[in-house]
Amino acid sequence: MKTIFPTAKFQQLRTPFYYYDTELLNKTLQVAQSEANNYGYHLHYAVKANANPRVLAIIRAAGFGADCVSGGEIQAALEAGFAADKIVFAGVGKADWEINLGLDKDIFCFNVESIPELQVIDALAAAKGKMARVALRINPEVDAHTHTHITTGKKENKFGINLDQLGDILDELFGLNNVRLIGLHFHIGSQLTELEPFQALCERVKTLQAGLAKRGLHIENINFGGGLGIDYDHPDAHPVPGFGSYFKIFHDNFPVTAGQRIHFEPGRSIVGQCGSLISKVLYVKEGSVKQFVILDAGFTELIRPALYQASHLIENLSSDKKAETYDVVGPICESSDCFAKDIQLPQTQRGDLIALRSAGAYGEIMASQYNCRQLPVAYFSDLL
Ligand SMILES: *Cc1c(COP(=O)(O)O)cnc(C)c1O
Residue ranges of domains in the chain, CATH in brackets = 22-271 (3.20.20.10), 275-383 (2.40.37.10)
Distance of CA 366 from the midpoint of ligand 1 (Å): 15
Q: Which residue out of 42, 48, 224 has the highest number of ligand 1 atoms within 8 Å of its CB and is therefore the one to mutate?
A: 48
The pLDDT of residue 3 is: 81
Spatial separation of the C-alpha atoms in residues 201 and 230, rounded to whole Å = 20
- Say if CB 201 and CB 323 are below 8 A apart: no
Cα-based distances in Å from 48 to 56, 192, 297, 362: 11, 17, 22, 7
For ligand 1, what atom is nearest to the CA of residue 137? Answer: 13
Single-letter residue type at 358: S
Mutate which of 157, 158, 265 for ligand 1 pocket (most atoms within 8 A of beta carbon): 265
- Find the DSSP H helices in the chain: 7-11, 22-37, 53-61, 71-79, 96-104, 115-127, 166-174, 196-214, 243-253, 268-271, 304-308
Give the residue whose CA is nearest to atom 3 of ligand 1: 226
Q: What are the residues facing 377 on neighbouring strands?
A: 17
Structure confidence by residue, pLDDT tens digits, 231-264: 999 999 999 999 999 999 999 999 999 999 999 9
Strand partners, 112: 136
Closest CA to 170 of 133, 135, 207: 135
Q: How far is the CA of 41 from the centre of ligand 1 (A)?
A: 17
> For residue 331, what are the CA distances in angstroms to 9, 39, 94?
24, 48, 36
Residue 180 · residue 134 · CB < 8 Å? yes
State the CB neighbour count (10 A cutoff) for residue 312: 22
Ligand 1 atom closest to Cα of residue 361: 8
User: Rounded CA gap, 285 and 295, in Å?
Assistant: 11
The per-residue pLDDT for 150 is: 55
Question: Can you list the residues of the chain whose pLDDT is less than 50?
Answer: none
pTM, two decimal places: 0.95
Q: What's the CA dihedral at 172, 173, 176, 180 to 10 degrees?
A: 180
Pocket test for ligand 1, best of 28, 50, 55, 67 (most atoms within 8 A of CB): 67
Rounded to the nearest angstrom, the distance between the alpha carbon of 205 and the centre of ligand 1 is 18
Atom of ligand 1 nearest to the CA of 266: 9
The pLDDT of residue 137: 96
Cα(44)–Cα(363) distance, integer angstroms: 20
The DSSP bridge partners found for residue 291 are 286
Give the CA diameter of the chain.
Answer: 71
Ligand 1 site, CB within 6 A: 46, 48-49, 67, 69, 90, 187, 190, 225-228, 265-269, 361
Q: How far is the CA of 222 from the centre of ligand 1 (A)?
A: 15
HSE on the CB side for 295, CA within 13 Å? 29
Atom of ligand 1 minimally distant from the CA of 268: 8
